[in-house]
Amino acid sequence: AALLEIEDLSFYYHDGTPALKGVSLSIGEGEKVAILGPNGAGKSTLLFHLNGIFLAQQGTVRVAGEVVTRDNEHRVREKVGLVFQDPDDQVFSPTVWDDVAFGPLNLGLERQEIERRVEEALHAVGMWEYRSRAPHHLSYGQKKRVAIAGVLAMDPDVVVLDEPTAFLDPAGQRALLKILEGLHGEGKTVIIATHDVDMAAEWATSIILLKEGRVLAQGDTCLLVNEE
Ligand code: ADP
Ligand code: ADP
């Protein structure tokens, strides 16, 4: 069975805005998936459903065969880690080290295991040297990497990133792609939302085209040949 399975998912914001309209899709273990679509397509709303931040109003979201509900959303959040688009929504502790340790501390892990995870995650994103620094003094790209490390320290099976290369310069974008390759190499399923067709074509093994809350197509990257 697929690792993530969404069936007929619809979602309306409080003001009545329809953000998702009957979305169905499935994502297998070990895939590199790009959810591609213009601003307002519903990408962020969809990602919030993958780790239980949003619960389905209509339709179902399954993670590893289990329907996500209020009762198991915490367990789902340990399996599926979400990196927000804006690191300022995610990075808030006095030091980089504390920030990455926050999740593992909440899991109630032993001190040694927390230290091991923080060190590994910070090395994975190239931020170990910055561990004693204050996150709010770092550059945008560095904060973004700290946010990714915070998610990695939870050791999720699936890492989901909302617009990971947005606002990064070309070198920052290359560094980020390298980090994504590293995650995939470790056996993680990696899902990104992006409006960058070139990045999706270069990186993904599977593409989901989203527009106005609907899935236009899902398949491999040759879908993009017929775009525009
Ligand atoms: P994307 O990530 O592809 O840019 P979003 O999921 O953010 O798309 O938005 C999908 C739709 O929902 C858009 O029409 C957007 O304006 C609307 N939307 C997003 N957040 C809210 C909100 N908090 N309240 C009302 N409408 C929202
Ligand atoms: P650096 O110091 O590495 O050049 P900056 O922190 O100055 O990085 O940010 C790089 C780019 O990202 C700039 O164009 C900046 O305007 C933009 N940026 C910074 N913070 C944010 C944010 N919170 N949301 C959106 N864009 C941002």
Q: Which atom of ligand 2 is nearest to the CA of 143?
A: 6
ipTM for this prediction: 0.76
Its pTM surpasses 0.90: no
Ligand with smallest separation from the Cα of 211: 1
List helix spans (H) across 21-110: 43-50, 73-79, 96-106
Q: Which atom of ligand 2 is nearest to the CA of 140?
A: 6
Cβ 88 under 6 angstroms from ligand 2:
yes
**Residue found under tokens 């895939």:** 31
Q: How far is the CA of 129 from the centre of ligand 1 (A)?
A: 37
pLDDT in tens, the chain (228 residues): 799 999 999 999 999 999 999 999 999 999 999 999 999 999 999 999 999 999 999 999 999 999 999 999 989 999 999 999 999 999 989 999 999 999 999 999 999 999 999 999 999 999 999 999 999 999 999 999 999 999 999 999 999 999 999 888 898 889 899 999 999 999 999 999 999 998 898 899 999 999 999 999 998 877 776 554
Q: What DSSP line would sit under 182-206, residue for residue?
A: HHHHTT-EEEEEES-HHHHHHH-SE
Cβ 42 under 6 angstroms from ligand 1:
yes
> Whose Cα sits closest to atom 14 in ligand 2?
167
Report the residue among 44, 163, 192 best suited for mutation to probe ligand 1: largest number of ligand atoms under 8 A from its CB. 44
Determine if residue 186 is left, alpha or beta; phi over 0 gives left, psi from -120 to 50 gives alpha, anything else beta.
Answer: alpha
Q: Which atom of ligand 1 is nearest to the CA of 45?
A: 6
Q: Within a 10 A sphere around the Cβ of 202, how many other Cβ atoms?
A: 11
List the structure tokens of 123.
């090395």
List helix spans (H) across the chain: 43-50, 73-79, 96-106, 111-124, 140-152, 170-185, 197-203
Question: CA dihedral in degrees (209, 190, 42, 148; nearest 10)?
Answer: -150
Cβ 40 under 6 angstroms from ligand 1:
yes
